[in-house]
Amino acid sequence: MSDNPASPILLFDSGVGGLTVYDALRKVLPEAPVIYAADLAGLPYGSKTESQIAARVAGLLGRMAERFRPRLVCIACNTASTIALGMVRDVLELPVVGTVPAIKPAAALTQTGTIGLVGTEATIRQAYVDELEAQFANGKRLLRVAAPGLVAAAEAKLRGQAVDPALIDDVRDRLTAMPGGPDIDALVLACTHFPLLGEELAAAFGSDVRQVDGAAGIARRIAHLLEGQEFAAQGPNRFIVTGPLAGAEGLEAALASRGFGPAEVF
Ligand code: DGL
């Protein structure tokens, strides 16, 4: 338990996807100081190997925890969490909250029993996802597709660029072409970037397909773990990037509207 009210919550992702968790967190803990770290030098994680992701995430979070002294770390990235959550918990002496595909809530709301899951290439092949499926979607059909193009599209959208609807249509078409695909009525957004494309996904899939992500649940979990702690921010929240500052170009409006100061280099 932190006795320093200025100690931040550290939110970590490969890019801007974790801002979907940040937005949910600010609704439940508006006063909490937050440092958001985007590993832009490592983006995208989805095309990397398990060992590359685990080494990178554990190494960076170890160094960030030393520098920023957070009270809690949230890995706001499904790819990193499904691969490296256990390892990060072993190396940090801090509460660590992960982000795992929201299969449980999707299974609770599907009427047809057919759930779609969109994630990165690395996430959809994880045993962690097989375990969530066996535990929560037993007797239901879970259809998985990788959609690496949507990570880049979400990054671009937050920088004010247009999203090519063909990218989203392709994801829908690949899911629909799978056996049982036309019955999908719940879509797990198993990458924190994807809720940033909620409108585009709704346009492609239609309003009968419910989009399900874990952001609100993660925010509640963080609030629960920090219950009773005091918060005293000493300035605006910080947005930190790995690699050159130029990687954050175009994000100024998205950051300012969320109460961040200007991007900084780690
Ligand atoms: N935002 C990430 C996730 O939740 C990863 C995107 C990427 O770096 O490929 O999976």
CATH number at residue 82: 3.40.50.1860
- Tell me, yes or no, whether 128 lies in a domain: yes
Mean pLDDT for 19-32 is: 98
Regarding whether 131 and 166 lie in a shared domain, the answer is yes
CA dist 71 and 82 (Å) reads 22
Regarding whether 196 and 109 lie in a shared domain, the answer is yes
Regarding whether 109 and 62 lie in a shared domain, the answer is no
Rounded to the nearest whole angstrom, what is the distance from the C-alpha of residue 126 to the centroid of ligand 1? Answer: 14
End-to-end CA separation in angstroms for the chain: 25
The mean pLDDT of the chain is 97
- Tell me, yes or no, whether 1 lies in a domain: no
CA dist 58 and 75 (Å) reads 11
pLDDT above 70: residue 188: yes
Mean pLDDT for 168-182 is: 98
pLDDT above 70: residue 112: yes
Mean pLDDT for 252-263 is: 98
Q: Which DSSP helix (H) or strand (E) runs through 224?
A: helix 215-225
- Tell me, yes or no, whether 4 lies in a domain: no
pLDDT band at residue 3 under the 50/70/90 scheme: confident
Return the best residue to mutate from 193, 194, 196, 213 for the ligand 1 pocket (most ligand atoms within 8 A of CB): 193
Question: Residue 91 has what pLDDT?
Answer: 93
Regarding whether 91 and 222 lie in a shared domain, the answer is yes
Regarding whether 136 and 125 lie in a shared domain, the answer is yes
The tally of domains found in the chain comes to: 2
Nearest CA residue ID for atom 2, ligand 1? 77
Rounded to the nearest whole angstrom, what is the distance from the C-alpha of residue 155 to the centroid of ligand 1? Answer: 11
What tokens appear for 199 in the block?
A: 């409108």
Is 77 an active-site residue? yes
What is the rounded radius of gyration, in angstroms, for the C-alpha atoms of the chain? 18
pLDDT above 70: residue 1: no
Is 74 an active-site residue? no
What's the pTM value of the predicted model, to 2 decimals?
0.97
Regarding whether 184 and 227 lie in a shared domain, the answer is no
pLDDT band at residue 200 under the 50/70/90 scheme: very high
pLDDT above 80: residue 42: yes
Mean pLDDT for 58-70 is: 98
Percent of the chain with pLDDT over 90: 99
Regarding whether 108 and 92 lie in a shared domain, the answer is no
Report which residue type is found at 147. Answer: A
Per the structure, the complete domain to which residue 181 belongs is given by 103-213
Mean pLDDT for 201-230 is: 97
Mean pLDDT for 22-37 is: 98
Regarding whether 209 and 220 lie in a shared domain, the answer is no
Regarding whether 119 and 85 lie in a shared domain, the answer is no
Regarding whether 185 and 154 lie in a shared domain, the answer is yes
